Amino acid sequence: MSKNIMIDKEFLKHAVVGATVLGTGGGGDPKIGYLMALQAIEKNGPIPLLQVDDLKDDEMAGCVSMMGAPSVSLEKIPNGDEFPTVIAGMSKVMDVELSALYPIEAGGLNSMIPIVAAANMRLPLLDVDCMGRAFPELQMITQSIFDIDNSTIVLGNEKLDYMVMKVNNPKDMEKYCRSLTMDFGGSAMMSESYYNKETLNIFGVKGIVTKSYEIGKIINESETPVEDMVNSLGAFHLFDGKISDVYRTYEGGFNKGKVVMDSFDNNNEYQIFLQNENLVAFKNNNLIAMVPDLICILDYQTKMPITTETLKFGQRITCIAFPCDEKWRLEKGIELVGPRVFGYDYQYVPIEVLQRGNK
């Protein structure tokens, strides 16, 4: 795709679908995010999608996102005023004028929030994020792999209250922000440290917005979407089946649980364990995919992505997987987001290796 891209209504309808796929079940409800972004673009016009290197040397970019359990966002919908509030708070703390926004992660709501903010604030969006997917905890960003400072956070609520945090230990920041988010009612808006293009080029997962668009366009328009994603985007088709059980709890600000599925021939049982996002997948108790690779559940008929909070008994589903960004496969990346971090005592094995063993 050319670099002179405008995010308009046509782009948006594909991008939200693809971002929800890449969100691996997390990132918030896509319908809410899509409608908010659509309204912002209809009101203010399309926004430019730029590459990192389009920034001038002295320009700074930042992200805005929502923190909390995805299920809470279904009832506690942002009103839109929170975004400029937390951005203004961060600009004041850093004493820097913001030149562009970018998403913190791929996901239905969190991919749309920066579009809403960019449209309302007349700013461009950058084709980059900090994950290349969605993760449940605040320190699980690519800045952490390269020890890039992300110690300043501004957290706000729908009452336009906000709090500035300066915390040196990323794990402590997750703990403090999670606690404040729960005090805010289970969800909060967040802005993080701003960066110039030199730093973004070190940690950023580039091309995430255009990849979301490409995935969404395939799902929306192709007659063979799974085959097309396998052949052109490096996806793996794991299985098709029917959900026989869903176990879900809300613990410490997260949706946790597992979903059990039977293959259509009833010869195989599949299990996927989740914490906001899909984390590990088993076929007959044998691992077939694991975090940080992307495990994505789609509706069997429409191939539309299904988020973890909307999984339910009887759904017919297709499960696909994508390799994660190479940054997550570095030793520091696996230490941050590998299966053992989430309590699964397995050494990380890339999806392409696991799939060769399951042929």
CA 229 – CA 183 distance, rounded (Å): 41
Assign residue 134 a region: left if phi > 0, alpha if psi is -120 to 50, beta otherwise? beta
The Cα 29–Cα 109 span in angstroms is 5
Q: Residue 325 in contact with residue 205, Cβ under 8 Å?
A: yes
At residue 4, the pLDDT reads 72
List CB contacts of 39: < 8 A, sequence separation 6 or more: none
What amino acid occupies position 58?
A: D
How many other CB atoms are there within 10 angstroms of residue 266's CB atom? 10
Question: Token digits for 68?
Answer: 């909390």
Cα 132 from Cα 141, distance rounded (Å): 9
Strand locations in 284-338 (E): 286-290, 294-299, 316-322
Q: What is the DSSP letter of 147?
A: T
Helix-helix angle 9-22:30-44, to 10 degrees:
160
Q: How confident is the model at residue 3, as a pLDDT?
A: 55
- Longest CA–CA separation in the chain, Å: 61
Instruction: Walk along the chain (359 residues) and give the pLDDT tens digit of each residue.
Output: 435 799 999 999 999 999 999 999 987 778 888 999 999 999 999 999 999 999 999 999 999 998 876 555 556 667 778 888 999 999 999 999 999 999 999 987 899 999 999 999 999 999 999 999 999 888 999 999 999 999 999 999 888 999 999 988 888 888 899 889 888 887 889 999 999 999 999 999 999 999 999 999 999 999 999 999 999 999 999 999 999 999 988 776 677 899 999 999 878 999 999 988 999 999 999 999 999 999 999 999 999 999 988 899 999 999 999 999 999 999 999 999 999 999 999 999 999 999 986 65
**Ramachandran region, residue 246 (left: φ > 0; alpha: ψ -120 to 50; beta: rest):** beta
Give me the pLDDT at residue 1, please. 40
Q: What residues contact 16, with CB distance under 8 A and at least 6 apart?
A: 30, 33, 34, 37, 108, 111, 112, 212, 216
**Is the CB of residue 308 less than 8 Å from the CB of residue 277?**
yes
Q: What is the pLDDT at residue 258?
A: 94
- Please state, in angstroms and rounded to a whole number, the distance separating the CA atoms of residues 153 and 282: 37
Q: What is the pLDDT of residue 37?
A: 94
Predicted confidence at residue 237, as pLDDT, reads 97
102 backbone dihedrals φ, ψ, rounded to 5°: -150, 155
The closest alpha carbon to 139, from 123, 153, 125, belongs to: 153
Nearest to residue 196, comparing CAs of 340, 70, 94?
94
